[in-house]
Chains A and B, each alone.
Chain A
Amino acid sequence: MLEVKNLCAKVEGNDILKGINLTVKPGEVHAIMGPNGSGKSTLSKVIAGHPAYEVTSGEVSFDVNRKQINLLELDPDVRAKEGIFLGFQYPIEIPGVSNLDFLRESFNEVCAHQGIDKLDESAFRDLLRQKLKILDMDERFLERDVNVGFSGGEKKKNEILQMAILNPRLALLDETDSGLDIDALRIVAKGVNALKSKFNAVVLVTHYQRLLDLIVPDYVHVLYKGKIIKSGDKSLALELEKRGYDWLIEESEGKKQ
């Protein structure tokens, strides 16, 4: 569904991604790990189409109606409408826009693009109620302005709520576990697991094994200096938890020489 080939990208003149190769198929969960500054967030932002990130070479293709199309040619809102979702590491506060209006606007735009009928007010509320329940969120969240005055945990839950409403085919979750206490982490994981199906894929950017205990990955990739230096199964994450990144970095730099 997602195919990244030799992707290079820069932001503010700095080369961050230096030849990423990644294939994600429906039904898979991928975890992307790596030390700070290795390019993990950049990768998810480039796929979502953040305008500050410039792709300098390489390809990203995505399955749209059973055809792999060039994702980089699509505007970011169209990427979202085609089923790509970016869960922000730092969700943005938008004073003056209520969560409900934001969710409705977003849901309606995505439905219109996909040729699905809009839901009327009460049906949409019902859908929201269902999803709020999974995330153990109060209905009052809907009346509040987007992320304004939310705690770290509430912001992340709000990201997962948006994801649950939009039901994306590919969810890129950028450090969704950071800033969460153990209970919130469990709830967020429950929300992500509820979305998983054989049609959807999840890419988790994370630093910690504790998230991967709850959302079990099929593949684990280690990103370092803009390249994937190691891929493996879930046991790789366990090994990283025990041994850190140094041995891998040494291994990969040894290979170069």
Chain B
Amino acid sequence: MKVSGFGATQELSYPALGEAWRFSPFHQFLPTEISPSKKVDSNSHIILSGETLIIQNLPDGIRLKDSNQKVGVDFWNTLTQIGGKAHLEVYQTPKEPLIILIERNSLNAEQSTLGLIEIDILESNKLQIQQTIKGSQEGLTVSQVNLNLDEKSSVDHVVSLSEGSEALNTTSFHSTLKAASNLNQTIIARGGKLTRLNVKAKLIGVQAHAALANLSMLHGKSTLDLHSDIDHQVGSTTASQLAKNLLKDESKGIFTGRVHIKKDAQLVSAAQMNRNLLMGKKAHAIGQPQLEIFADDVKCSHGSTTGQIDDEASFYLISRGIRPEMAATLLTKAFIAEVIHHAPKDLQSFFEDLL
């Protein structure tokens, strides 16, 4: 089902004919109007590509709701409003994961993919989501996924984001957790000239639990700026967060992690850890934890480490006959694996190509 296809008309000036284009006569083939790719990936249930949103073969238990409502008011929200929008509802626990693809493919390279996906998970249902965000060399993707977890519902969400080296990307995840709901979210991001990742979890019901893990694997001159906001609106809520950066070359990984515990939100447990592995002499990590705690009976921990591969760990492996370069590879994989292992076992294969 095609929910909204904007079919934007692009004013393109064709490449000038001349010697340089002798063997590639695009002018013979290009249509007068270019719309975003309609290539349908048969595995995905939701595909956002360019401005087109395709929803197909939704797993049993998930249905489409009215998608014309406005959500949010800020700049990025407005951008996502221009693009594809989908509002889904999980009324029954599906037997298979929901697969989401947000892409800029070769046909909409240097263009933009914009969109917003909102999912309500109704009481006591469980949802697994496998989300891929991938972009071509250049261009802009702005997308947001909102997860609204009703009482006792649970979501396991794995996200793989990979961007082209000149691309710009703003990706947001906003989750709201009602009582006794459970969110496990694992996001692994690669590449991009500049990527901004906004991760918000708002815990509004007692016994709600959010477990978040992020890994940014950057190289070249990539910059990834992760802003997270974990908001404990009521007491007896728990959250854990692991934010890691694996930085090569001249890349830059930024983590700003706000943890807010509202006044009188007692018995909150919140743990935050930031680890940075620097593998390039000019790689740069910035960690900014921001704890705003207005209740007195809470358990909070946070920490941040930045360094290179641990010499002692490396020697331990080498002293068992493992070659130094293999030891470095194993330890790097181990750094990545810790985040992959954060996802539930049955979803870990989603990240298989990383190891």
Pairing of A with B: yes
Q: For the complex, give the distance between the alpha carbons of A145 and B313 in Å.
A: 13
B321 within 8 A of A: yes
- A50–B315 touching, CB < 8 Å: yes
Q: What is the chain B residue whose CB lies nearest that of A80?
A: B321
A109 within 8 A of B: yes
Among A90-98, A177-185, A187-195, A233-241, the one that faces the other chain is A90-98
A48 within 8 A of B: yes
Query: Which residues of chain A from 40 to 91 have a CB within 8 Å of any chain B CB?
Result: 48-52, 75-77, 80-81, 85-86, 88, 91
Q: For the complex, give the distance between the alpha carbons of A110 and B310 in Å.
A: 23
Contact with A along B314-326 (1 / 0, CB 8 A): 0111111111101
Q: For the complex, give the distance between the alpha carbons of A97 and B319 in Å.
A: 16
Interface residues on B, range: 20 to 34
Q: What is the chain B residue whose CB lies nearest that of A106?
A: B320
Q: Which of A49, A80, A95 contacts B320 (CB 8 A)?
A: A80
- A76–B311 touching, CB < 8 Å: no
- B315–A91 touching, CB < 8 Å: no
Known: A95-B334, A96-B334, A96-B337. 10 other contacts (CB 8 A): A76-B315, A80-B318, A86-B319, A92-B310, A92-B313, A92-B316, A94-B331, A96-B336, A97-B337, A145-B334
Q: How many chain A residues touch the partner (CB < 8 A)?
A: 29
- B322–A97 touching, CB < 8 Å: no
Query: Which residues of chain A from 99 to 114 have a CB within 8 Å of any chain B CB?
Result: 101-102, 105-106, 109-110, 113
Instruction: Tell me the minimal C-beta distance from A9 to chain B in angstroms.
Output: 16
Q: For the complex, give the distance between the alpha carbons of A101 and B323 in Å.
A: 15
- A92–B312 touching, CB < 8 Å: yes
Q: Which of A75, A80, A97, A110 contacts B330 (CB 8 A)?
A: A97
Lowest 10 CB-CB distances: which A-B pairs, in order?
A96-B334, A96-B337, A80-B321, A106-B320, A92-B316, A110-B321, A109-B321, A97-B334, A96-B338, A81-B321
Instruction: Tell me the minimal C-beta distance from A226 to chain B in angstroms.
Output: 22
- B321–A102 touching, CB < 8 Å: no
- A95–B338 touching, CB < 8 Å: yes
Residues of A within 8 A of B336 (CB): 96
B335 within 8 A of A: yes
Residues of B within 8 A of A113 (CB): 321
- A94–B316 touching, CB < 8 Å: yes
Residues of B within 8 A of A206 (CB): none
Evaluate whether A97 and B321 lie within 8 angstroms (CB atoms) in the complex, with A50-B315, A88-B316, A109-B326 already known: no
